[in-house]
């Protein structure tokens, strides 16, 4: 059975992980719902247990083993004999911490140390736009390996803007290019958790050695350890040790190092000494790009579903800058449309996403109208508001007049002031012009309808 489970594990966690972590462990016994394994070193046991414990248990259960949990015991024979395969050796005495030897010394690959990397967080799946292009370029550079370029790379930005995605992408890419690299990705929370556990188990040496034996260390959401003094201290030492050895470090945080309150000044200045780049809040274009990319992948899964024109644009306009929320909205749309067997229409979108949309509901302002009209027609605000009489600016300007009149309670002179037109009869003329055109020009009617929906739905 273990042989079968090993096969399944190889498939689900990948060859590298398998040879680095599962290969060294041996099945020992199954008793009282506990499956016991022998490991050549304590460190391997705790690593496997923490990173692959759930997967192993799941595979055991689906292979028909009624296991409740798994345990790892250091194989007493391991120290003496290089090949620890004697299941009849009593696994009693747990020796003091083994020197950490990531991936073993048998040269069979160290592999990615993390089972926790998200398969979908690759560079290919990352949509690049103005707000994230610098962060993306820096991440790419680090992922190319080569002589250490930006060290540390510090990525920061608000929730859901792609920090974790980029870090995982770096890990995947480095792993592909240089399979022998020992890459460790942890959240700052895991870092702290492991440190505290090491303290409790009096195994700080093992902890230090493990973190210092990697080639690339990535710590996500470092703000978590700000104010946690002993963890910060340990982090600082780990950081310095790795930098001294020329190892690559990538850190993320929710703000720039200097702005992190409670973060030790020494750490803040250390973090800032490589490259610090931020991910800006997404803009309309990036959101639309992300939606289109994701919609493309959904089309493979739901080949029959159609999306009505304007829906993605509408969602990109109306949903916040957090990409996770954006993705959630799209997932829901597809699931909902699939369920009721309908095309994804504007009406369905508004119904299905009403709660998310309501959260962003507010009075339409003239500023927003100007902004949306400019985005829609791809013109600069200066051209819309300025004196230019150029024809391709005239229609958008009239559209802005029309929308201000229809969607706000502003008077014609107020609208005139906003749009840089002193004479309020110009405004009236613009509004009428759009109304006339809407009756005869379906493009204009569509534009007006789309803009109106985006602004006020
Ligand atoms: P953060 O760590 O900054 O809070 P994440 O990296 O977890 O954000 O991103 C949140 C979600 O949004 C993830 O599912 C991620 O794949 C997705 N995402 C963020 N930015 C992009 C992007 N530029 N292209 C594609 N997906 C993105
Ligand atoms: Mg994150």
Residues 42 and 134 in one domain: no
Residues 54 and 30 in one domain: yes
Annotated ligand binding at 158? The verdict is no
Q: Can you tell me the distance from the alpha carbon of 49 to that of 68, in angstroms, rounded to the nearest whole number?
A: 14
Q: Is residue 167 part of a domain?
A: yes
Residues in the chain: 457
76 lines ligand 1 (CB under 6 A): no
Give rounded-to-5 percent helix, strand, coil for the chain. Answer: 55, 10, 35
Per-residue pLDDT tens digits for 200-226: 999 999 999 889 999 999 999 999 999
Residues 233 and 188 in one domain: yes
Nearest CA to ligand 1 atom 14: 324
CATH (domain of 443): 1.10.1750.10
Annotated ligand binding at 130? The verdict is no
- Taking the CA of residue 127 as reference, the ligand 1 atom at the shortest distance is 24
Q: How many domains does the chain have?
A: 4
Task: State the distance from the centre of ligand 1 to the C-alpha of 256, rounded, in angstroms.
Answer: 19
Q: Is residue 379 part of a domain?
A: yes
Q: Is residue 108 part of a domain?
A: no
Residues 151 and 59 in one domain: no
Residues 194 and 294 in one domain: no
CATH (domain of 297): 1.10.8.60
Of 347, 345, 401, the closest CA to residue 373 belongs to 401
- Taking the CA of residue 118 as reference, the ligand 1 atom at the shortest distance is 16
- Taking the CA of residue 220 as reference, the ligand 1 atom at the shortest distance is 2
Per-residue pLDDT tens digits for 412-428: 888 998 898 878 889 99
Residues 30 and 150 in one domain: no
Of 84, 173, 68, the closest CA to residue 124 belongs to 173
CATH (domain of 211): 3.40.50.300
pLDDT, position 359: 64
Residues 218 and 239 in one domain: yes
CATH (domain of 32): 3.30.300.180
pLDDT, position 2: 87
Q: Is residue 86 part of a domain?
A: no
Annotated ligand binding at 164? The verdict is yes
- Which whole-number Å values give the CA distances from 306 to 104, 318, 337, in the listed order? 52, 20, 9
Q: Which of 297, 324, 359 is the last residue of a domain?
A: 359
Of 187, 193, 267, the closest CA to residue 232 belongs to 267
Nearest CA to ligand 1 atom 25: 126
Q: Is residue 115 part of a domain?
A: no
Q: Is residue 73 part of a domain?
A: yes
Predicted TM-score (pTM) of the model is 0.62
Residues 313 and 445 in one domain: no
Q: Can you tell me the distance from the alpha carbon of 309 to that of 306, in angstroms, rounded to the nearest whole number?
A: 9
Residue in 162, 254, 331 to alter for ligand 1 test, most ligand atoms within 8 A of Cβ: 162
Annotated ligand binding at 162? The verdict is yes
pLDDT, position 455: 82
pLDDT, position 87: 32
276 beta partners:
154
Nearest CA to ligand 1 atom 23: 127
pLDDT, position 95: 31
Q: Is residue 180 part of a domain?
A: yes
Nearby residues of 151 by Cβ (< 8 Å), 6 or more positions away: 243, 248, 249, 274
Number of neighbours of residue 32 by Cβ within 10 angstroms? 7
- Taking the CA of residue 168 as reference, the ligand 1 atom at the shortest distance is 6
Residues 354 and 374 in one domain: no
Task: State the distance from the centre of ligand 2 to the C-alpha of 354, rounded, in angstroms.
Answer: 27
Residues 311 and 370 in one domain: no
Q: Can you tell me the distance from the alpha carbon of 225 to that of 369, in angstroms, rounded to the nearest whole number?
A: 43
Task: State the distance from the centre of ligand 2 to the C-alpha of 119, rounded, in angstroms.
Answer: 15
Q: Which of 342, 359, 376 is the last residue of a domain?
A: 359
DSSP letters spanning 264-301: -HHHHHHHTTSEEEEEPPP-HHHHHHHHHHHHHHHHHH
131, 279 contact by CB (below 8 A): yes
Residues 342 and 383 in one domain: no
305, 298 contact by CB (below 8 A): yes
Instruction: Indicate the pairing of strand 26-31 with strand 34-39.
Output: antiparallel
Residues 135 and 273 in one domain: yes
Of 51, 38, 40, 23, the closest CA to residue 91 belongs to 38
Q: Which of 230, 252, 279 is the last residue of a domain?
A: 279
Task: State the distance from the centre of ligand 2 to the C-alpha of 415, rounded, in angstroms.
Answer: 43
Task: State the distance from the centre of ligand 2 to the C-alpha of 220, rounded, in angstroms.
Answer: 7
Q: Is residue 8 part of a domain?
A: yes
The residue with tokens 């290089």 is: 82
Task: State the distance from the centre of ligand 1 to the C-alpha of 166, rounded, in angstroms.
Answer: 8
Domain that holds residue 226: 130-279
Give the residues of the chain that fall short of pLDDT 50.
80-112
Nearest CA to ligand 1 atom 20: 162
Nearby residues of 37 by Cβ (< 8 Å), 6 or more positions away: 25, 26, 27, 28, 45, 48, 70, 71, 72, 73
Which tokens is 163 given?
Answer: 């920090």
């Amino acid at each position: 059975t273990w042989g079968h489970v090993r096969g399944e594990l190889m498939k689900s966690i990948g060859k590298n992980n398998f040879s680095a972590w599962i290969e060294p462990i041996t099945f020992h016994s199954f008793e009282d719902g506990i499956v016991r394994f022998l490991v050549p070193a304590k460190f391997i046991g705790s690593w496997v247990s923490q990173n692959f414990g759930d997967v192993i248990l799941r595979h055991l259960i689906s292979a028909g083993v009624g296991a409740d949990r798994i345990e790892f015991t250091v194989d007493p024979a391991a120290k003496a004999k290089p090949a620890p395969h004697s299941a009849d050796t009593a696994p009693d005495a747990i020796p003091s911490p083994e020197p950490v030897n990531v991936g073993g010394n048998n040269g069979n690959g160290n592999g990615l140390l993390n089972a926790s990397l998200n398969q979908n967080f690759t560079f290919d799946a990352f949509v690049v736009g103005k707000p994230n292009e610098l962060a993306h370029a820096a991440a790419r550079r680090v992922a190319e390996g080569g002589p250490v370029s930006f060290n540390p790379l510090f990525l920061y930005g608000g929730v859901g803007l792609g920090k974790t995605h980029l870090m995982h992408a770096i890990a995947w890419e480095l792993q592909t290019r240089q399979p022998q690299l020992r890459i460790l990705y942890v959240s700052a929370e895991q870092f702290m958790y492991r440190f505290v556990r090491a303290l409790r188990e009096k195994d700080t040496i093992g902890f230090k050695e493990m973190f210092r034996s990697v080639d690339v260390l990535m710590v996500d959401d470092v703000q978590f350890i700000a104010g946690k003094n002993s963890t910060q201290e340990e982090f600082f030492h780990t950081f310095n040790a790795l930098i001294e050895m020329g190892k690559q470090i990538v850190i993320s945080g929710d703000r720039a190092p200097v702005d992190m309150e409670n973060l030790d000044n020494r750490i803040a200045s250390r973090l800032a000494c490589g490259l610090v780049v931020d991910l800006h809040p997404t803009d309309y274009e990036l959101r639309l790009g992300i939606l289109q990319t994701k919609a493309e992948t959904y089309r493979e899964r739901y080949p029959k579903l159609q999306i009505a024109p304007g829906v993605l644009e509408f969602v990109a306009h109306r949903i916040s800058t957090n990409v996770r929320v954006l993705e959630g909205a799209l997932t829901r749309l597809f699931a909902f449309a699939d369920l009721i067997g309908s095309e994804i229409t504007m009406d369905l979108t508004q119904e299905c996403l009403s709660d998310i949309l309501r959260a962003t509901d507010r009075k339409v302002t003239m500023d927003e109208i100007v902004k949306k009209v400019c985005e829609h027609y791809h013109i600069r605000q200066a051209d819309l508001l300025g004196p230019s009489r150029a024809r391709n600016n005239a229609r958008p300007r009239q559209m802005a007049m029309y929308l201000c009149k229809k969607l706000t309670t502003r008077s014609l002179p107020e609208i005139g002031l906003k749009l840089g037109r002193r004479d309020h009869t110009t405004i009236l003329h613009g509004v009428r012009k759009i109304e006339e055109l809407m009756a005869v020009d379906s493009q204009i009617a569509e534009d007006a309808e789309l803009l109106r929906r985006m602004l006020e739905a």
